[in-house]
Amino acid sequence: MNSSFPPPAIVLVRPQLGENIGTAARAMLNFGLTEMRLVAPRDGWPNPAAGPAASGADAVLDGARVFDTVAEATADCAHVYATTVRKRGVTKPVLTPEQASAAIHTEVGKSAILFGAERSGLATDDVALARSIVTVPINPDFSSLNLAQAVILIAYEWSRTRGLASPTETELDPPAPQAELEGMIAQLDAMLEAAGYFRPPERIPATKRALRGVLTKPGWTSQEVRTLRGVLSALKGRKRQRG
């Protein structure tokens, strides 16, 4: 990672509940952010409620640093962004999360992103310390985001700009060999023949071709072929018992 453009610090200003700090840590680590800074957490730090809520993001919580003021928490940062849905009369550049993330990746120096307390958000004095405001289009009639939601919006955009790899897709089983398909088709043919399905005689070739098309089209795996053949065998055995 280029040391000139380090990942931003996530600064939680006067967070109230330990659970919310934990879920914010989880959101951070989901998208590759690990530096959490806490400004005057209401219930002190460490908070025993944070760990379970973090769901394994213990490295973020263990490394969290506590400060008395926003100024102290951002003293080493060249770029400070305040997240808020209201501009509060402060004249500053207003960016989307995408624009802020792009800037963080291109501006030399450490960045910090401020998130306010759960009930009130950032105070006007907190916003005044920032150089830019980050906001998102949101329903004006219901603009309440919880702390983790706000963090995840920013963290996602930062990771997207950074180009984090997507989770590895589940590896699919290879298609079954043709011989296994032929065995399944032959088994079904024999059962249908015994049941008198193939009629009239002049339609038998066309009917069997249609059936073969259905059975070969999906690209069965060996496990799927074995499963279906087991079903056919069970049905045949049940018919014998009834007979």
What CATH number corresponds to the domain at position 96? 3.40.1280.10
168 is a domain residue: no
Does residue 193 lie within any of the structural domains? yes
Label each residue of the chain as H, E or C: CCCCCCCCEEEEECCCCHHHHHHHHHHHHHCCCCCEEEECCCCCCCCCCHHHHHCCCHHHHHCCEEECCHHHHCCCCCEEEEECCCCCCCCCCEECHHHHHHHHHHCCCCEEEEECECCCECCHHHHHHCCEEECCCCCCCCCCCCHHHHHHHHHHHHHHHHCCCCCCCCCCCCECCHHHHHHHHHHHHHHHHHCCCCCCHHHHHHHHHHHHHHHHCCCCEHHHHHHHHHHHHHHHHHHHHHC
Higher pLDDT, 18 or 139: 18
Whether the per-residue pLDDT at 201 is higher than 90: the answer is no
Q: Is residue 169 part of a domain?
A: no
Q: Is the same domain home to 139 and 210?
A: no
Question: pLDDT at position 40, please?
Answer: 96
Q: Does one domain contain both 158 and 50?
A: yes
Residue 4 has pLDDT above 60, yes or no: no
Same domain, 40 and 84: yes
Q: Does the structure show a pLDDT above 70 at 87? A: no
Same domain, 87 and 153: yes
**142 with 204, same domain?**
no
- Convert the pLDDT of each residue in 223-240 to its tens digit: 888 998 898 888 887 666
- Which residues lie below 8 Å from residue 226, measured CB to CB, with a gap of 6+? none
Paired with 81 in beta bridges are 113, 132
Q: What's the predicted TM-score (pTM) here?
A: 0.68
Where is the domain boundary, 128, 162, 196? Answer: 162
The reply to whether 194 and 103 lie within a common domain is no
Q: Residue 82 is part of which domain span?
A: 9-162
Domain end (from 98, 132, 162) = 162
Residue 134, classified by CB atoms within 10 Å of its CB into exposed (0-12), middle (13-18) or buried (19+), is buried
Quote the number of domains for the chain. Answer: 2
User: Are 59 and 28 members of one domain?
Assistant: yes
Encode pLDDT of 107-163 as tens digits. 888 999 999 988 888 998 999 899 999 998 888 788 778 899 999 999 999 988 776
43 and 134 assigned to the same domain:
yes
Domain boundary among 135, 162, 189: 162
- State the pLDDT at residue 49: 95
* Same structural domain, 82 and 29: yes
**135 plus 70 within the same structural domain:** yes
| Residue 13 domain flag | yes
- 118 and 143 inside one domain: yes
Residue 119 falls inside a structural domain:
yes
Query: Are 110 and 226 in the same domain?
Result: no
